[in-house]
Structure 1
Amino acid sequence: MPLAPGLARLRPGRREYPQTPSVPQYRVAATVLFALVGAVFGSWAARIPDVAAALAADPSTLGLALLCISLGALASMQLTGALCARYGAGLVSSVAAVLASSTLVLPGLSSSAIELGVALVLFGAATGTANVAANAVGVQVERAAGRPMLPSLHAGFSFGGLAGAAVGGLVASTVPTAVHLTGVGVVGLVVTAAIAPTLRARDVEQQVAGADPADGPRGARGTVLLLGVIAGCTAFGEGAVTDWGALHLRESLGAPTAVAAAGYAGFSLAMACGRLAGNRLLRTVGATRLVGGGAVLATAGALAVATVPLVEVVIAGFVLVGLGLANVFPVAIARAGTLAGSAGVALASTVGYTGLLGGPPLLGIVADAVGLHVAFLIVAALVAVGAVFAGHVGPAPSRTGYARRLVAPAGAMARLATTRLGHAARGHGNSLADLGAALAERTDVRRPHPGLEPLAA
């Protein structure tokens, strides 16, 4: 009895796929997916102060509510790996994007702290699933293209988050929170409907070809866990700068608000620019030297933040941290996906997210006891782990000039930061305050809560 047309396409050995998207089309769809997840979370982050004000929530109550995002995400991440292996990363990421867009409105409709906590558990579970599934899609893009792709996809997340936060800041004084978040959710649903067929078509091809090594080779779990530790140390550093960077500049060093905003803005822009250059750097110097050089650069930046009490040096340190950490997380996740497929992506992401969850509270305790400048020494120590274990993220390319290329990532990213931040400052005067104002125009001063950003991350 002949199979139905839809089932016939899934018959083992048959390789005829209707309108299978090309690799460039697949890459565009994946980039849009990453940007969408970033924009959804950035939009929520921009309205956190408004939600807190509407509920008259004190800092401790708000902190507990925000922790619900992390709990929801942690609960969903390991399940996501199994779902991607069973149904395909494209289908799971599309459904998760729909859920993330739909649950985005719930915090704006909450009338009590308990309702907000429940809403954020659901939102965290949806966005956590979307992050893991998006990374699994990114690994499939790399597999289809035969070259590094995940860093540039993470750049899409970074720019999406910046755009979401910027728009949220612009409309905060004129548009009610629920209306704004509903509008973003509707746009998210439309965008998801546009990219889902492309993502799902590649899923069909992956399932027929059996291309996702969901269980991975024996012994890979230990390496995947180590990759998760590397990602977690990176996420710890990102969360530290996100939550405490501007506060350190303003309260420890007495910087004005505009200048304090330049610290986080510079960090965010440097990370986004570093990820844009990540694909080329991976092809040029290899994963091992990119992660090792980036970790060294980020460690130097964190040490500058911790030890030099000068505003200019601290801001430069944040830029170095952003550049150095830009590609560590995506490279670690890509390696986990290579070793163990969707399950590896989920495991490494969950371990990495644990570092992000525990980092900012730990730094808060240390800061209360000995000051923020000492707390950033912990960041430097943990980020250095990436340099120590860089050999586990992939083999270095067998080319000549090893010693010269060993430091190439740090030099290339530093030159990139100088160029991009120079463009941002041009036309806005020469003073540090003017630069801070220029960067604040491009990035909303309200920093996102360190929940999901590095995991798309």
Structure 2
Amino acid sequence: MATFFLIIIYLAFISLGLPDSLLGVAWPAMQPEYGARLETAGLLFMTIAGSTIISSLASGIVIHKFGTGKVTFVSVLMTAAALLGFTYAPSLLWLVIFAIPLGLGAGSVDAALNNYVATHYKAHHMSWLHCFWGVGATLGPIIMAQFISEQNAWRNGYFAIAGIQFALVIILFFSLPLWDKVASRSNNVANEDKDAANTSADENVRNIKPLKIRGVKLALLSFLFYCGAEATMGLWGSSFLVSVKDLPVEVAARWVSLYYGGITVGRLITGFITLKVRNKMLIRGGQIIALIGALFLLLPLTTIFSLVGFILVGLGLAPIFPSMLHETPTRFSKEHSQTIIGYQMAFAYTGSTFLPPLFGFIASHSTIKLFPLFIVLFVVSMLLVSEKLNKHLRKKHLSLPSISNSSAS
């Protein structure tokens, strides 16, 4: 039963990824229909991401009161209804209105499923969970591109994704009784793993406030710049390809799907090599690969190098987010890891909420050609902050035990 139920959870995470990449690839077709400015997509994205932050912060209380199963069911229902709303939205105001439940639903699903898998399943399932998010994020642009290529029907693309979400809603409804059963069967194993991980930490570390631990603020900045790079690529990549590289909208959408495909494949590969390669090496290697991909976009090379650049950036970003989360207990002690991971997720959402719209505002008042430069700046900033953090950690000489890997979206 646990394996079958895990498949349902994986399907839910595919549904979480499906809407994430839609707005960016559909916007070049949506913009002229609404007569909107370029940066309007950034405002919509900010509305979705801001709502996600709110629901994530409130998810602990909501999940404790109603349970993971019910929260997941209602959240996916909200996202499905919001996507259906996008399909029929007659004006920009309605897009903003429907962006709110889309973000609220996504944040609750993300927090609920990550917590459930971390509590009731072995740690390696977390890596595969985020790989399935990448499957959804990759399929989203492919589906949208197919409909855009047919009479520029971006609304039909949203309708198709909404239909997939409603199908999952039905599955989740009939699976509601299984959530508590699976949880009760796996609690013993989860508790054993937790007891093994909760070894005593240094008393000095235990008494320090999390934000005062050396290096924590640098770690927070790493998450900020990571999500800034990842979200900016997804939101503005298609507009860059259409406006600067003169690609058709549907072709640009497919290229962006390859970017998300790079993240998906990269996380799948990372899941196999985490036992052989340390998190620090995965983080550094991913940042270097992402930087090379961003330079391919920045340099005056032929169009095919832009495609290679999108794929390389995706492959490079793939291991960074989960590896940084994995490393948190080792970096800052298990006593504070849960609190610090919460801070990190807040900074991650802040990066994805404000940095892409910031670029959209700048591009609207200058040129979209600055897109590769901003990606390079975000990746370089992340690399420099990460290396400075490693330097601080070497000086701390804290002997903290490591724990098995787990990740968040």
Aligned position for 2:130: 154
CA distance in 2, matches of 1:390, 1:197: 46
Aligned position for 1:424: none
Q: Against the structure 1 CA distance between its residues 227 and 77, is the aligned structure 2 distance closer, same or farther, given a 3 Å change threshold?
A: farther
Instruction: Establish whether residue 129 from structure 1 lines up as the match of residue 121 from structure 2.
Output: no
Aligned position for 1:36: 15
Aligned position for 2:86: 107
Q: Which amino acid aligns with 1:102?
A: A
For 1:419-442, what per-residue CA distance to the aligned partner results, in whole angstroms no more than 9, with x for missing partners? xxxxxxxxxxxxxxxxxxxxxxxx
- Contact map agreement 2:25 2:252 (CA 8 A) in 1: no
CA distance in 2, matches of 1:294, 1:149: 21
Structure 1 residue aligned with 2:359, among 359, 363, 375?
363
CA distance in 2, matches of 1:87, 1:344: 25
Aligned position for 1:317: 309
Q: Against the structure 1 CA distance between its residues 109 and 78, is the aligned structure 2 distance closer, same or farther, given a 3 Å change threshold?
A: same
Q: Which amino acid aligns with 1:234?
A: Y
- Contact map agreement 2:225 2:382 (CA 8 A) in 1: yes
Q: TM-score, normalised by structure 2?
A: 0.74
Instruction: Establish whether residue 379 from structure 1 lines up as the match of residue 378 from structure 2.
Output: yes
Aligned position for 1:277: 269
Aligned position for 1:187: 167
Q: Against the structure 1 CA distance between its residues 112 and 92, is the aligned structure 2 distance closer, same or farther, given a 3 Å change threshold?
A: same
Instruction: Establish whether residue 328 from structure 1 lines up as the match of residue 324 from structure 2.
Output: no
Aligned position for 2:396: none
Q: How does 1:10-409 map to 2 (within 5 A)?
A: 21-22=1-2, 24-41=3-20, 55-84=34-63, 89-140=68-119, 144-145=121-122, 147-171=123-147, 173=150, 177=156, 180=160, 182-204=162-184, 219=208, 221-222=210-211, 227-249=219-241, 251-252=243-244, 263-307=255-299, 309-334=301-326, 346-364=342-360, 368=366, 371-384=370-383, 385-389=385-389
CA distance in 1, matches of 2:69, 2:336: 17
Instruction: Tell me by how many angstroms 1:285 deviates.
Output: 0.9
Q: Which amino acid aligns with 2:315?
A: L
For 1:132-185, what per-residue CA distance to the aligned partner results, in whole angstroms no more than 9, with x for missing partners? 2233234335xx32x433232111111123223333443454886485455234
Instruction: Tell me by how many angstroms 1:118 deviates.
Output: 1.8
CA distance in 1, matches of 2:287, 2:362: 23
For 1:303-345, what per-residue CA distance to the aligned partner results, in whole angstroms no more than 9, with x for missing partners? 3433454434443333222111102123334556976687665
CA distance in 1, matches of 2:68, 2:390: 27
Secondary structure in 2 matching 1:111: coil
CA distance in 1, matches of 2:352, 2:290: 16
CA distance in 2, matches of 1:220, 1:90: 34
- Contact map agreement 2:9 2:113 (CA 8 A) in 1: yes
Q: TM-score, normalised by structure 1?
A: 0.67
Secondary structure in 1 matching 2:18: helix
Instruction: Tell me by how many angstroms 1:221 deviates.
Output: 3.7
CA distance in 1, matches of 2:337, 2:408: 16
- Contact map agreement 1:231 1:333 (CA 8 A) in 2: no
CA distance in 2, matches of 1:386, 1:206: 36
Q: Against the structure 1 CA distance between its residues 246 and 39, is the aligned structure 2 distance closer, same or farther, given a 3 Å change threshold?
A: closer
Q: Which amino acid aligns with 2:225?
A: C
- Contact map agreement 2:51 2:107 (CA 8 A) in 1: yes
Q: Which sits farther off after the overlay, 195-204 or 70-79?
A: 195-204
CA distance in 2, matches of 1:336, 1:85: 24
Instruction: Tell me by how many angstroms 1:189 deviates.
Output: 0.8
Q: Which amino acid aligns with 2:7?
A: V
> How large is the Cα RMSD of the aligned pairs?
4.1
Q: Against the structure 1 CA distance between its residues 54 and 456, is the aligned structure 2 distance closer, same or farther, given a 3 Å change threshold?
A: farther
Q: Against the structure 1 CA distance between its residues 380 and 351, is the aligned structure 2 distance closer, same or farther, given a 3 Å change threshold?
A: closer
- Contact map agreement 2:279 2:323 (CA 8 A) in 1: yes
Q: Which amino acid aligns with 2:47?
A: C
Q: Which sits farther off after the overlay, 332-341 or 261-270?
A: 332-341
- Contact map agreement 1:42 1:161 (CA 8 A) in 2: yes
CA distance in 2, matches of 1:83, 1:197: 18
Secondary structure in 2 matching 1:284: coil
Instruction: Tell me by how many angstroms 1:233 deviates.
Output: 1.8
Q: Which sits farther off after the overlay, 246-255 or 289-298?
A: 246-255
Question: Which runs of 5 or more structure 2 residues have no equivalent in the other structure?
Answer: 394-398
Q: Which amino acid aligns with 1:156?
A: F
Q: Which amino acid aligns with 2:78?
A: L
- Contact map agreement 2:221 2:382 (CA 8 A) in 1: no
Q: Against the structure 1 CA distance between its residues 34 and 118, is the aligned structure 2 distance closer, same or farther, given a 3 Å change threshold?
A: same
Secondary structure in 2 matching 1:105: helix
Q: Against the structure 1 CA distance between its residues 231 and 132, is the aligned structure 2 distance closer, same or farther, given a 3 Å change threshold?
A: farther
Instruction: Tell me by how many angstroms 1:83 deviates.
Output: 3.4
Instruction: Tell me by how many angstroms 1:247 deviates.
Output: 4.3
Instruction: Tell me by how many angstroms 1:220 deviates.
Output: 7.5
CA distance in 1, matches of 2:166, 2:340: 32
State the percentage of identical aligned residues.
19
Question: Which runs of 5 or more structure 1 residues have no equivalent in the other structure?
Answer: 1-20, 399-454
Q: Against the structure 1 CA distance between its residues 255 and 283, is the aligned structure 2 distance closer, same or farther, given a 3 Å change threshold?
A: same
Q: Against the structure 1 CA distance between its residues 218 and 114, is the aligned structure 2 distance closer, same or farther, given a 3 Å change threshold?
A: farther
CA distance in 1, matches of 2:356, 2:126: 26
Q: Which amino acid aligns with 2:262?
A: A
- Contact map agreement 1:300 1:317 (CA 8 A) in 2: yes
CA distance in 2, matches of 1:365, 1:92: 35
Instruction: Tell me by how many angstroms 1:90 deviates.
Output: 4.8
CA distance in 1, matches of 2:33, 2:245: 32
